[in-house]
Structure 1
Amino acid sequence: MKKKLFELDKNLIPNVEKIYYNNSFIDCSHKVIGLDVRDNIWKCTVCFYFFDFDNKRQYKAFMHRMSKDYYDFEQMEKDYSKKVVKEEEREEMDHFLKELYMMY
């Protein structure tokens, strides 16, 4: 049985009850991996999946994707949270409008 990974919610916690966007961890190819200086962990700059390298072989396998540029993960996470909140509000409005339409 494969373990499925789903989207992050507004608190950046993997949510298995509801998928907010079509671009999930599974769809992410982790093209750019940056170092988050807050906790000194390598993370994907799109889906925030973190990479923990156990040995040098694993490190070398992803070395071509690692960026030496500085990424502000704190701001990126805030922007992602705002995006999730907007999507939730849009879904609630769509549901409300659908119910309103069904009443008339």
Structure 2
Amino acid sequence: MQNQIWVVGDATPGGWNFSGGETQIVEINPDIWQATFAFSAGVFRFFESQGVWDTNNNYKHYADAGYVIDSKFQNDGSGDANFKFVGTSGTYTVTINAIDKTIKLN
């Protein structure tokens, strides 16, 4: 992974586009990324490059790599295997930890 991850989807503030409203998750320590932003009902995906739709950081990618994923996220069941936010709408801190292989919401 790179030193930043982008979050795009209707469950996040920027929606499904790379027009400047997408959410950036920054690397706070080597292999640990974190950001605080609002989640609402819907789906999203992580991207390693801003504006590039061809990365494979969907729910299945992380699950297949052995990550323990917060229960507020599910696989949306589509062919894209996007993340589906199933928690209560609100502001959360998301942490992706590639060392411990976890994706957590606090």
When the two structures are superposed, what TM-score results if normalisation uses the length of structure 1?
0.26
**If you compute each CA radius of gyration, which structure gives the higher value, 1 or 2?**
1
Structure with more relative contact order (C-alpha pairs < 8 Å, separation 6 or more)? 2
What TM-score, normalized by structure 2, do the two folds share? 0.26
